[in-house]
Structure 1
Amino acid sequence: MSTTTPTPQPGTTKEASPVFLENMDQLQTLFNQFDANKDGKISAAELGDVLKAMGSNYTEEELKRAMEDIDTDKDGFINLSEFSSLCRSSSDAVTAASELRDAFDLYDQDKNGLISASELHLVLNRLGMTCSVDDCVRMIRSVDSDRDGNVNFEEFKKMMSASMPSNDRI
């Protein structure tokens, strides 16, 4: 099995971007998940909705400060370029690993170290992504190397660092 390493964008290294955002397709997919109304920009309300769905308890003031920090052109929205800069700003490998663990923990609702199809289904629906439990079973099967019907953290890391079609990513 051969693996290829994506070519880093100019001015960055592979270590300079989070493990799960190695190419523009992945970045666009993540951006689209935040952009609920599909208008090409993320509003403060959309950012707040996603953070709430992920279990974060941000105050309105914290959300406002985050938007001010991210929205460099000061138009009141986060565009793809600003979102890309935000994602790349997590350059520390420890931070990226911590963020990956946090993402895994978001899906691992019962905290047993595994993501089941029902957990995946629950979280994706909370994030506004409509899919069936059968769809989630297929997504898990595509990365379930030990064939236990779940995704463990090692499988999750491999999945998130691989270049996969966007509909196979958790």
Structure 2
Amino acid sequence: MAIPHRAPEDTRLMNLEEFKKLLKKFDANKDNKISKEELQELLRSHGKHFSGWKSKRALGHADANGDGYIDENEMINLVEFAKKQLGVTVVAK
């Protein structure tokens, strides 16, 4: 059985600042960092299955300093994740 994926025409385009704003909408405690749980909520809101597993993998990939959070400087590391999991393509301004 093939797993369906989003076609390119379903992809939303946004610049990096818009992408950061999207992430910050899920910053529940307003600490300017995204936790695994906050990332998981973002995935759930987009109807994604296995949100706990996917958020853990994304955090492991994006969290360059290993503190367990994605801060402002690390958000760029989520661009490929957003393309695959959220149907969002981040483009240059």
Compute the TM-score of the two structures, normalised by the length of structure 2: 0.64
**Higher gyration radius (CA):** 1
* 1:136 has 2:48 as partner: no
Higher relative contact order (CA 8 A, sep 6+): 2
Runs of 4+ in 1 over 3 A off after TM superposition: 162-165
Q: Which residue of 1 aligns with 2:32?
A: 113
Asked whether the 8 Å contact 1:104–1:153 carries over to 2, the reply is: no
* 1:146 has 2:65 as partner: yes
Determine helix, strand or coil for the equivalent of 1:107: coil
Compute the TM-score of the two structures, normalised by the length of structure 1: 0.39
Q: Distance in 2 between matches of 1:164 and 1:106?
A: 15
Asked whether the 8 Å contact 2:27–2:34 carries over to 1, the reply is: yes
Percent identity of equivalent pairs: 19
Aligned 1:1-170 pairs, distance under 5 A? 32=6, 80=9, 87=13, 96-160=15-79, 166=84
Unaligned runs of 5+ in 1: 1-28, 33-39, 41-78, 91-95
Cα 1:124/1:164, change in 2 over 3 Å: closer
Q: Which residue of 1 aligns with 2:88?
A: none
Letter matched to residue 84 of structure 2: S
TM-align CA RMSD: 3.5
Asked whether the 8 Å contact 2:20–2:75 carries over to 1, the reply is: no
Higher strand share: 2
Aligned length: 83
Q: Distance in 1 between matches of 2:75 and 2:31?
A: 14
Unaligned runs of 5+ in 2: 86-93
Q: Distance in 2 between matches of 1:132 and 1:159?
A: 15
